[in-house]
Amino acid sequence: MKDRKTTMLILVLILCISIPAALSENDNFGVDYVFEPVMINGQWMIKDTVVLEIPGEPLVPYRAAAILLPEGAELKDIKVKHGKPIVQKGFELPWGQPPCTFNDKPVIVGKTEKIYNSDSIYPHKLYEFVGIQSFRGFNILYVNL
């Protein structure tokens, strides 16, 4: 009898704790990423990133993020919060080259002067929405940061 009362008390406590979460209208959630600079083979890189290489454009690191969405969630928008940009001068950023194949002669392209001579921030967007895919009934948001 005592075990039954204890079990009922525990169930009532769990129910009381879960009611505010069930009635909450806050349907937002966030994911935090930290971008750490690291020295790799004598070059500065950003930890856990891949380099975006578009011919003629600056080589830019990005992180491919896979975010598991809550069950039944519907994506309305994506907001990216960031710190103040750090602008450094005097660095020559390398630019991308077209891929080489065994059949063709390698092609070398110069940098795109329009981008390199501009005072605007490159790339122009903070993230790229790749898509939402489903895996075993779970929706996963893919974003390049």
pLDDT digits (tens, 9 = 90+) for 22-34: 555 667 778 888 8
The distance from CA 145 to its chain's CA centroid, rounded to whole angstroms, is 4
Q: Which of 114, 110, 136, 92 is nearest to 55 (CA)?
A: 110
- Say how far apart CA 45 and CA 65 lie, in whole Å: 18
Q: Indicate the SS3 state at residue 5.
A: helix
pLDDT at 55: 92
| Residue ranges of domains in the chain, CATH in brackets | 28-144 (2.60.40.3800)
d(CA 48, CA 88): 22
CA 142 to chain centre: 8
Q: Which amino acid type is present at position 55?
A: P
Q: 6-10, 19-23, 84-88 — which is least confidently predicted?
A: 19-23
CA distance 141 to 79: 13
The pTM of this model reads 0.69
Q: Determine what percent of the chain is predicted with pLDDT higher than 90.
A: 5
- In Å, how far from its chain's centre is CA 36? 14
